[in-house]
Structure 1
Amino acid sequence: MRKGWMPASVLFIALLSACSEDVDKADQLEPSEEPTEEAAEEETDAAPESETEAPEEEAQEDTESGEAAAEPAEEDGTAEEEAPAEEEAQPEEEGTPEEEPAAEEEAEAGDDSVNAAGDKASESEEETNVGLKAYMPDGPMTKTFLQNGEYEATYDIVAVKGNFVQRVITFGDMVTLQVLEWKEGSIAVVYEEYNPKDTSNMLDTFEPVETINVLVDATKGDTDQFQIVDQKATVQSDVQTFDNVIIVRSVSQGGNVITLQSYAPGVGLIDEQIEDNGDNGYEVDSKLTALKK
């Protein structure tokens, strides 16, 4: 055998041994590296777990503290929300009564306007309608007048019903039946008959057809035709002294005839003066001399 030469089989075995040793060394090295990776994994796992647990605990604490803080906040918030709601509700409730009085004030203002208009109308009526019905005869009666101191005329009040007064005027041989319609602002003859056959009460079935003559008209206030001279006059007669007498001046026949009539409350006509300034002028002065009810 040559020095330094080695059989191939021995060389192959040596190579196998060297490879085995390398493999063994690699195997020995792997166990040292595996624990390192496992430790790293354990450290990695442990670190997140600890870090995770810590935030979870903090989160739990924060959650609990948040819930604890949230509960008062919710309660406070609810109270605060409810309080404004109540405050808002209160103004609405307060506003409603304020609106209702406003409506009532408007209604009252409207009612005041209507009342004011009614008052004005009433004042107008009082100005134009002088309450002549107070001067109607209050029942049947007989009044005797003396004209110009020598001629006697009798006024028999036959009946009084509603606005109507039936009277019969006897002057010498002349008999005149009249029905007067007596309103607050006017007195008018609505029926007239000369020398009637029957002078008894006809008012139960009477209905006016036309106006024969207007004795007094104060519905338009003082006019050229009618004027209220006095409403509180005192008139002395042979019968008695009458107070609160109304005196009415009327003009007719183109201004030629001027008449002054005096009416006493509950009696009617108590005095009449006529002045005719026409071609056939004359004067009449009728004074009440007797009154029988």
Structure 2
Amino acid sequence: MPEWLNILIRSVVSLAYLLFLTRLIGKRQLSQMTFFEYTVGITIGSIAAVIATDLDGPIIYGLLAMTIYGLVPILLAWLALKSKWLRDLIGGRSTVLIKNGKIMEDNLRKERMSVEELMQHLRMKNAFQAADVEFAVLEANGSVSALLKSDNQPITPKHMGQQVAPVKEPQTVILDGEIMDEPLATIGFNRQWLKTELEKTGVALENVFLGQVDGNGQLYVDLYDDKIQVPQPQILKQVHAVLKKCQADLELYALAAQDQTVKQTFERDAKRMQEMIEQLTPLMTR
């Protein structure tokens, strides 16, 4: 067999087996891997390269070595689920870097991290002063987690006592000018509905690069031609405005009514309408 063909076969086999092992080990991103997993990954890659170029050694030996290096992390991960000591040994422990706005200098030296590196991590968390951080910890995977002090955290609807409707996952219904039937069926719509919505915006299907439907059933499209401005959906805002107008009309009717019974009826209906608007506002104005 020619050497180039032998190298080709070995490369394809080692690459295919490497892909199989990486899928078997898991789907963690590089930033989520422990140092042990990172080391094992480098070693497996090196063995795969040796398999492709070492024409004298049997390929089965290299595949066996890759198998051992691939199965050991799986076995240790399973054992680590049952033993905290083993989890700490393999993955390491987290280290507190800031507590109550005070930098823990001894822990920084222990982790061989400079103050500049710490501040870089904090800036990536939108914290530009160490004094603004209530608690910061160096995780086992090398990333820094930071909790801002309560007076430096952004205000949320929960802080203001407001209820916000849950957000449903948007579905991609158009991709590269092609209708995606499965996501469309998932949200209970069909092609006819989609074509009707496109006609409302005056856009042809073949001109749509990406089309998504949000949790409220509104269609958003991105066109190939970025110079064309597509009007954003305003259905929910229009419904909200109509409801508020109806409520205002009921209050006007109540003020203008001469008959006391009619006046009380309009006032009651206006109050009910206002309560309904308050409940629906988070759904229609987000």
TM-score of the aligned structures, taking structure 2 as reference length: 0.19
Between Structure 1 and Structure 2, the one with more strand by share is 1
Q: Which has the higher helix share?
A: 2
Could you tell me the TM-score, scaled by structure 1's length?
0.19
Larger radius of gyration between Structure 1 and Structure 2: 1
